[in-house]
Structure 1
Amino acid sequence: MTPPTPLHLSLAGQAVDVLREQVLTGEIPPGSRVNEVEVAQKLGISRGPLREAIRHLASEGLLQLVPHRGAFVPDADSDEVKALFELRAALECAAAELAASRRTDVDLVRLHEVSAASRSNYRTGQPFPYRLDLAFHQTLIDAARSPRIAEQVRLVQQRVVLLRSALDDDPPHQHASMDDHDELVKAIEDGDAARASTVMRRHLSRVCAQMLTSLNR
């Protein structure tokens, strides 16, 4: 019997990648329904693989399935933001501590590189490119060498990026966040686990507060 094609190599897997990008960049904005006919035509696939992709993204929390109505991109609300950041703080403060004790010289080079790339690619007045933020946090998670934490952090971070896609840019906040990233790199470089955890908690608290403020405007 021929084994099934892995999801990442199938049409559904390719659709997952494209649809995830459309959701995270706000191309399909929060609150909107996924137009299956339009998306399938755009991707050049049938609706079968697309529906499989939609179910996969729903399992990650990036889409909501509403009976008899279809798939929708979740809207941001204060309770969801608070819950996500409670979980994110628990995971990423632990990861920062681990990174401070487990990082290699290669990890430090990469952390410096992605932190510098954030500053050089950010343009005031434009949304902060989500890939830059994810790249920094992913590099830190890689340095922690904890696959289970990494798996959960990726899912939580995606949902935060999704909720942020509908919010206005805040240049002072973005610059403060980049300063936090630099301070995190220094703490990890120094092997100071307690300081790395403290800076991460402060950083995530700042991001959460900024999102809540933007939501309540």
Structure 2
Amino acid sequence: MTSSDELAAALEKANGAQERFEIMYDTLRERISMSDYPPGMRLSEEALAAEFGVSRSPLRKALKILEADGLLQSVQGVGTIVTDVDLDELTQVYQLRMELNELVGRLSPKHPDATALARFEELRKRAEALCSEPDMKVFARLNIDFFHAFMRLTDNQPLVEVSERLFYQTCRIWLKMIPMMDFAEEVAIFAGEIAAITEAVRLGDTEAAGHIRRAHLSMGFTRLKSHARQQTL
């Protein structure tokens, strides 16, 4: 989670109301996605407005969009609640994400440059370190950072925007399911995915990167469903 000092500094440097809004929105979305705000938690508008140093009006705008994203729910008489994630309800979202990931390599793909390769190499090293010392929060952070690095392989903005919304709807499922799974094995699989896509980026083969990402997302979802079934037996 971004520290209070870092958040205050970012808000102070923001150029205008729109940028401050985006910082608030991104911060809240990340806290939900990292389970810093766990499912069922009620968010206090008063406390958040004080933390961000804003009135409730722009804060409510951010909360409304997060509600439209499926991350929050407004409950009359209770307030704004962080939603839970259900694997069965996310099946169609995962199916769409699989197709969209493959499109990254086909719709306005960028030719990876030295900066892109350095970005993926840094992620690969972080994944290797995570294999040595598995940590759930570090895994979640790496998952988010890797998603954003992957989406920078395309210049198709509508594809990026839709993919981002769907990603944040599903990424929390791993934090919910991992305690039931072999966490070290999942980290090793993820590290393998990052290594394979890094190699595709090194070769300048964005289309291959899309195929790899789609395959790993499909296999990951299959593993999640398998573990979910085992819990009901």
After TM superposition, is the score higher than 0.5? yes
Shift of 1:178: 1.2
* Corresponding residue number in structure 2 for 1:35: 44
Preserved CA contact (<8 Å) 1:26 1:162: yes
Amino acid at match of 1:136: F
Question: Which among 18, 30, 41 is matched to residue 7 of structure 1?
Answer: 18
List aligned pairs for 1:114-129, cutoff 5 A. 114-121=123-130, 123-129=133-139
1:165 aligned to which of 149, 167, 175: 175
TM-score, normalisation: structure 2: 0.74
- State the identity %: 23
**Which piece of structure 1 moves more, 170-179 or 18-27?**
18-27
- Which whole-Å deviations, capped at 9, do the CAs of 1:173-194 have from their partners, x for residues lacking one? 1211110111122233334456
Query: Is it true that 1:133 corresponds to 2:143 in the alignment?
Result: yes
Match of 2:84 in 1: 75
1: CA distance between counterparts of 2:137 and 2:226?
16
The structure-2 alpha-carbon separation of the partners of 1:48 and 1:97, relative to structure 1 and needing over 3 Å to count, comes to closer
Give 1:42 shift: 4.9
Q: Tell me the distance in 2 between the aligned counterparts of 1:98 and 1:133.
A: 23
CA separation of 1:150 and 1:17: change in aligned 2, threshold 3 A: closer
Alignment-mate amino acid for residue 144 of structure 1 = T
Note the residue ranges of structure 1 that are not aligned, 5 or more in a row: none
Aligned partner letter, 2:214: R
Asked if structure 2 preserves the Cα contact closer than 8 Å seen for 1:30 and 1:163, the reply is no
Contact 2:112 2:153 in 1 (8 A): yes
Partner of 1:147: 157
C-alpha contact (below 8 Å) 1:62/1:73 kept by paired residues: yes
Q: Provide closer, same or farther for how the CA distance between residues 136 and 96 of structure 1 changes in structure 2, counting only shifts above 3 A.
A: farther
Greater displacement, 123-132 / 89-98: 123-132
Residue 104, structure 1, aligned to residue 109, structure 2: no
Judge conservation of contact 2:73–2:81 (CA < 8 Å) in 1.
Answer: yes
- Specify which of 49, 54, 63 is matched with residue 54 of structure 1: 63
Contact 1:96–1:141 (Cα < 8 Å) also in 2: no
> Residues 133-212 of structure 1: matches in 2 within 5 Å?
133-169=143-179, 170-192=183-205, 195-212=208-225
TM-score, L = length of structure 1: 0.79
Cα offset for 1:204? 0.2
- Deviation, 1:55, is 1.0
In structure 1, distance between residues paired with 2:159 and 2:93: 15
Q: 2:29, 2:66 within 8 Å by CA — same for their partners in 1?
A: yes
Instruction: State the alpha-carbon separation in 2 of the partners of residues 191 and 69 from structure 1.
Output: 52
Report if aligned partners of 2:123, 2:194 keep a CA contact under 8 Å in 1: no
Change (3 A) 1:204 1:92: same
- 2:122 matched residue in structure 1: 113
| Structure 2 unmatched ranges of 5 or more | 1-15
SS at structure 2 position matched to 1:72: strand
SS in 1 for 2:136: coil
Inter-CA distance 16–187: structure 2 relative to 1 (3 Å threshold): closer
Taking structure 1 as reference, are residues 47 and 195 closer, same or farther at Cα in structure 2, changes over 3 Å only? Answer: closer
Inter-partner Cα distance in structure 1 for 2:139 and 2:99: 24
Cα gap change, 1:57 to 1:101, in 2 (>3 Å): closer
